[in-house]
Structure 1
């Protein structure tokens, strides 16, 4: 079993500017400037689970994915696949972390994060 914790979320939208305005105006989220097409979303003044809003890719055009922090993406991907998940995006490298996307056996999208 892989240990994990929810560390962020990713909202996918075909109109991320409209989504950002909605969550900012209605719920008071602070929305950052886009970086890699991803705008950071700070909830409850930073006293909550933060995430981001992004233009949804063709394989996940809209919806919310939780991001789970794991010690090893490689081990988590192996265990997830053995238990019925599908890999949507293989391990990708960013400045401070690695990221991969899976879909669980019932169709829920999940991001896996391994900090460097």
Structure 2
């Protein structure tokens, strides 16, 4: 069997938390993760060199569920969200863009499981 690159791979995960300090203490104690809190409202998870994917803790201020989601890297977030609805899923959060140009959105599959899609900033 020939190994090929996965189209649209899972490259990021997020843990949504109303109590990010407790969440960081938990994962830090269990897995030894460390965190970078330099971005307001978001803690980058430092998984060490060579980690296959990255992650962060989104401070949700109780505005959406405390959960963990995976994010799929796509070339076009709007097109991915359109494909979700075309195939029986739903859009949970429309496309948004960060100040550095990263775009993302959240969707649910037909069973209601939430996941994200994202695209890095254009170079």
Q: What is the aligned length?
A: 113
Residue 57 of structure 1: CA displacement? Answer: 5.8
Among 3, 14, 27, the residue aligned to 1:10: 14
User: Counterparts in 2 of 1:1-116, with a 5 A limit?
Assistant: 3-43=7-47, 45-48=48-51, 49-56=53-60, 60-94=64-98, 95-115=100-120, 116=122
Larger-gyration structure (1/2)? 2
Name the SS of the counterpart of 2:39 in structure 1. Answer: coil
Check conservation: 1:64, 1:109, Cα contact below 8 A: no
Q: TM-score, normalised by structure 1?
A: 0.86
Structure 1's 90 and 52: CA in aligned 2 closer, same or farther, altered over 3 A? Answer: same
Which whole-Å CA distance do the structure 1 matches of 2:65 and 2:106 have between them? 14
Sort the Cα spacing of 1:53 and 1:83 in 2 relative to 1 into closer, same or farther, 3 A. Answer: same
Gaps of 5+ in 1: none
TM-score normalised by L of structure 2: 0.82
Shift in Å at residue 34 of structure 1? 4.9
Ranges in structure 2 where 5+ consecutive residues have no aligned partner: 1-6
C-alpha spacing 1:78/1:59, structure 2 compared with 1 (3 Å): farther
Q: C-alpha distance in 2, partners of 1:17/1:111?
A: 23
Worse-matched range after superposition: 26-35 or 11-20 = 26-35
